[in-house]
Structure 1
Amino acid sequence: MEAMTVTSPAQTMALGARLGALVQPGDLILLDGDLGAGKTTFTKGLAKRLGIDANVKSPTFTLVREYHQGRLPLYHMDVYRLEDGGAEDLGLDEYFDGDGVSVVEWSEFISELLPATYLRIALSRSDTQDDTRTITLTAHGDHYQKLVDQLEE
């Protein structure tokens, strides 16, 4: 588990962009944090580095937004509305096993549907400084540990 501190939305996007340069087809990135913690900001940086020019916004009401114009497809999911269940019927494993990168916000609501390997990124706001965030990376599996190691270089 590796933690880093960012002090602006631009730095959050930059970290997302660094990860965007490293991701491969089938990668699963989980983004956890309270409302306003920077999950979508992080995803915007990742998408930009993939070559996606579209306006990336939180898919709260659609559950999944697909972006196909980059180096890899990006499947951006917000499963907050599945807090009370219903995820089993969505076929999320087809995204997870697909040819793109899946980014899942609020993954705790689908924990029973997650594969064994993924990268969990927890974003938490500072109690004292508005734009300061602590970003904690937790790798589940060798591939994701290599991603974390590369991000720290």
Structure 2
Amino acid sequence: MEQFKSSSVEETIQIGFEFGRELKPGDVVCLNGDLGSGKTHFVKGVASYFGIEPEAVSSPTYTLIHEYPGSVPIYHFDCYRLKNEQEALEIGAEEYFYAEGICLVEWPEKINSLIPEEAIWIKISHLSDSERTISIHQKQQE
């Protein structure tokens, strides 16, 4: 497990950028954390590593998936509003998981059984209003 501490939005974006260096096409990254913990800012950092402007990245809460064309395509999921896994299947979520892009999934617990076993899990936790811990695991934590 790797663990980082962030004291600002900019630091969270930078940690995401550095993490992006380790990713390759086909990777699935699951982001756990409360509302407002910084999941989307982390995604902005990962996307910026692949040449996508951070300002272009927003939470796909109402569309479920945003696709960002970069040096490697980024597929940004937000499963918060899903009622069940069937809804994810209907929009083709599984095809994205096995495509040539990188999938970043917010609220992955909503589609737990669809997540590939080799997914990388990240937990972002509030320490205070401005501080977060970012923990990166190779397996889902119980």
TM-score, structure 1 as length reference: 0.85
Superposition pairs of residues 51-70 of structure 1, within 5 angstroms: 51-53=51-53, 55-68=56-69, 70=70
Q: Which residue of 2 aligns with 1:130?
A: 129
Identity of aligned residues (%): 42
Tell me the SS of whatever aligns to 2:34. coil
Matched residues, number: 138
Superposition pairs of residues 35-46 of structure 1, within 5 angstroms: 35-46=35-46
Distance 1:112 1:3 in 2: 26
Higher share of residues assigned helix: 1
**Aligned-residue offset at 1:88:** 2.7
Distance 1:21 1:84 in 2: 33
User: Could you tell me which amino acid in structure 2 is paired with residue 34 of structure 1?
Assistant: D
**Aligned-residue offset at 1:9:** 1.0
Distance 2:16 2:5 in 1: 13
**Aligned-residue offset at 1:22:** 2.2
**Structure 1: gaps (5+ residues):** 141-153
Distance 2:89 2:52 in 1: 29
* Deviation readout 1:30-73 (Å, 9 max, x if unpaired): 111011000000000111111012510000000000011x1100
**Aligned-residue offset at 1:89:** 2.0
Superposition pairs of residues 90-105 of structure 1, within 5 angstroms: 90-105=91-106
Q: Which residue of 2 aligns with 1:30?
A: 30
TM-score, structure 2 as length reference: 0.91
Distance 1:114 1:131 in 2: 30
User: Could you tell me which amino acid in structure 2 is paired with residue 28 of structure 1?
Assistant: V
Tell me the SS of whatever aligns to 2:109. helix
**Structure 2: gaps (5+ residues):** none
Q: Are the aligned partners of 2:33 and 2:125 in contact in 1 as well (CA < 8 Å)? A: yes
Tell me the SS of whatever aligns to 1:82. coil
**Aligned-residue offset at 1:13:** 0.5
